Structure 1
Amino acid sequence: MDLGDLLTGEDLIYAITIPLSTSIILANLIIILGIVWNRQLHNTPNYFFLSLLVADLCTGVALPFIPLMGLNRELSFSSCLIAHIFPNFLFLAFLFNLVMVHYERYICILDPLHYGNLWMHRSFPLALLIVWAPPLLYACLPALGWNNWAEPDWDGCCVGNQNVAANCSANSTACCSYKRVFTNEFIYLEVYGLVLPAILTIAGMTGRVLYITKGQLKDICRLHRSVERGRKASDREQRLNLRYTRCVVAVSLTFLACWVPYLIYMHVCIAFLLSDTKRNSTTHIILSCTGNGSMAVVPMVLGLSNREYTEPASKLLRKIRDRVRGEARDPGEVSV
């Protein structure tokens, strides 16, 4: 890839990720302020969700830099490590926080009687340490020596172009590539040892919650029929079944829209990025941007679907709307 292609790749990345990143940052800020302003939401479950929102906010900030890992750039050793380690840490921290939030809510439904005695509630600082410290330690392994920086510049970032090679030598820089920062073993371990198990765990807990909810719904309908002494389903039962159906559809669509693109991108990376085969850089950039961006939308969907989190922003918008309407009516009243 020459310098012109590199600039074109960067422009494409910024064109896709900047609008998505801005939306993620603004939505997370709205939900975070909604939790902070509402004192009734100051409890341990919402603190876990707040930690997830902070991680998602940071992921939104780092979103434009994640696809840049697939491009070859002229950077020093320290700058190259930071450009790869920091976004990777934020992504893993976001994923760990997401698993913790799903686990906390899963236990709440699975065993509500012992929910208040969970170790996460009794040792909240320890839970935060678990979701933030291991991602940082793992992401920093390349800085501790687990990298390919001593290997030759097989991507031709500095060798293929004489002018670029001269700049690399003069500025004490080299070709910064994910292949030189992350070893194949590191990427395989992260994908199949951390990321994929985390996604499968989230999917398994979500499916288990839907199954338990379906059983509880049947018990409620059975109890309602015994009280009413009727055989036909009442309007209330139909509303409950309809609400459950909507919940299943919403969860399924969220998984298809948010997780499937990332799973596709992840396996494309394993199939092509770790091999020596040439790939379509434009296709890779689009998959990278949409895959990582769709995954970062998950907490935003969870937060915006809760009216308690969005109520402060809704009140503010209503006040602004009423004030604008009032100012629009004043000139007419004066003229009359």
Structure 2
Amino acid sequence: MPCNQSNHSNQFSSPEINLIIKLTFPLSTVIILANLLTIIGIIYNRKLHNTPNYFFLSLLFADLCTGLALPFIPSMSLERYMKFSNCLILHIVPNFLFLSFLFNLVMVHYERYFCIVHPLQYSNFWVHRYVPLALLTVWIPPLLYASLPAFGWNKRPQNQSCEECSYNDVFPREFIYLEVYGLLIPAILAIIFMTVRVLWITRSQMKDICKLHRSVQGDVPSDKEHRMNMRYAKCVAVVSLTFMVCWVPYIVYVNVSILALWQDKGKSSTEPQTHIILSCTGIGSMAIIPVILGVGNRQYTKPIRKGLRKFWDSCRMGNDVKDFTNVVVV
């Protein structure tokens, strides 16, 4: 039986598709450009060619792919008519890219966490010694898990050459629960734990430094102590704000989606527009995290800032030459 092309074309002209385009294209463009600039900054700075930045480059590449796939992720909740093989690709590829992004994010936090908690053992750390193997662990498992529906773990209707394509047909409920409670939530909890632990260690080290400084200089707090406390307070504020802006929308989106599955036995009871808004804001805000980490590091943006400064100076010099020419002519 041939595919229903008219229904398929109507799906792509639906208000849901227009809403996805309006929400995801600006955010996707920002994510792609920011990651490209940061990648260029790291590649052209030879001082940054070390193990931590190799992992961060992998994260940036995964985030770049997530930015490219961002417009397709909310559309997974829409129903359309196509061959089941195309339907699998439409769902598996974005899921794989998002899982690889999450695994890379955990690896970056884990590598920095181990460097701070165990600095003396860091040189013997397996992640530091076997970088290619560590990179494979953040790309191969997401690919294998995301490909399970292609190997038979799906709810494909039998004896149909062209079916209604939706995520309910590709991803069984057990697959979704395992991904959420076995991969996503543990990864988020691990990142939160490592971040809080690093902040706690930093705070205790600051207290030791202040005690040592006061034993030498006296009991009166110095300007250095005030600056250290201010920098720490700013760091905590930035981490808290990042969590509220980037993680909370995604956590809300995951919980709402799971609650909808529980209540409606596999079919989301959430309105399509509401589900699209939640998915766009949740996944899009989470994909902003590497952008914040990259832009916040001045070493990563140094080549870009140099290039922009040269461009600005050349523009100013051209304007000065024009003004001088006009004065001479007058």
Q: TM-score, normalised by structure 1?
A: 0.91
Match in the other structure for 1:210: 199
Change in Cα spacing, 1:193 to 1:151, as seen in structure 2 (3 Å) is farther
- Specify the alignment match of 2:232 in structure 1: 244
Query: Does structure 1 residue 75 correspond to structure 2 residue 82?
Result: yes
Letter in structure 2 aligned against 1:263: I
Pair 1:179-2:168 in alignment: yes
Match of 2:73 among 66, 91, 95: 66
Partner of 1:109: 116
In the aligned structure 2, how far is the partner of 1:101 from the partner of 1:144? 31
2:275 aligned partner: 284
| Higher mean C-alpha deviation, range 245-254 or range 276-285 | 276-285
Are the structure 2 counterparts of residues 62 and 186 from structure 1 closer, same or farther at C-alpha, using a change threshold of 3 Å?
A: same
How far residue 279 of structure 1 moved from its aligned partner, in angstroms, is 2.3
Is 1:267 paired with 2:276? no
Could you tell me which residue of structure 1 aligns to residue 303 of structure 2? 312
Preserved CA contact (<8 Å) 2:11 2:80: no
Q: Would the aligned equivalents of 2:11 and 2:17 in 1 still touch at CA under 8 Å?
A: no
Residue equivalent to 1:91: 98
| Residue 180 of structure 2: aligned partner | 191
Q: 1:325 aligns with which of 303, 316, 319?
A: 316
Q: CA deviation at 1:173?
A: 2.2
- How much does 1:278 deviate? 3.3
Quote the offset at 1:150 in angstroms: 2.2
Note if contact 1:6-1:72 (Cα within 8 Å) is conserved in structure 2: no
- Listed as ranges, the matches of 1:82-161 within 5 Å are 82-150=89-157
Q: Which of 2, 10, 21 matches 1:14? A: 21
Q: TM-score, normalised by structure 2?
A: 0.93
Matched position secondary structure for 1:65: coil
Distance 1:4 1:306 in 2: 43
1:258 aligned to 223, 246, 254, which one?
246
Partner residue, 2:294: 303
Unaligned runs of 5+ in 2: 1-6
Between the aligned partners of 1:6 and 1:85, the Cα distance in structure 2 is 23
Q: Which amino acid aligns with 1:290?
A: T
Gaps of 5+ in 1: 153-168
Aligned match of 1:31: 38
The code of the aligned residue for 1:264 comes to: V
Q: Distance in 2 between matches of 1:66 and 1:242?
A: 40
1:80 deviates by 0.2
3-state SS of paired residue (1:231): coil
Deviations 1:63-91 (A, max 9, x none): 00000111001111110000000000000
SS of residue matched to 2:120: helix
State the 1:273 CA deviation: 4.1
What letter is aligned with 1:94?
Answer: F
Distance 2:82 2:259 in 1: 27
RMSD value over aligned CA atoms? 1.5
Letter in 1 for 2:319: A
Q: How many residues matched?
A: 316
CA distance in 1, matches of 2:65, 2:190: 23
Please give the per-residue CA displacement for 1:171-207, whole angstroms capped at 9, x wherever unaligned.
Answer: x421100000000000000001000000000000000
- In the alignment, residue 157 of structure 2 is paired with which amino acid? A
1:137 shift after superposition: 0.1
Letter in 2 for 1:186: F
Aligned mates of 1:209, 1:124 — CA distance in 2: 23
**Residue identity opposite 1:86 in structure 2:** V
Conservation of the 8 A alpha-carbon contact between 1:76 and 1:173: yes
Q: 2:47 aligns with which of 40, 52, 65?
A: 40
8 Å Cα contact 1:6/1:71 also seen in 2: no
Q: Is the 8 A contact 2:253 2:278 kept in 1?
A: yes
d(CA) in 2 for partners of 1:40, 1:278? 52
The AA in structure 1 aligned to 2:183 is L
Say which SS state the counterpart of residue 112 (structure 1) adopts.
coil
Is contact 2:23-2:280 (8 Å) kept?
Answer: yes
Asked if 2 retains the 8 angstrom alpha-carbon contact of 1:28 and 1:57, the reply is: yes
Structure-1 separation of matches of 2:169 and 2:251: 24
Instruction: Find the residue that maps to 1:233 and give its secondary structure.
Output: coil
2:276 and 2:148 map into 1 onto residues whose CA distance is 26
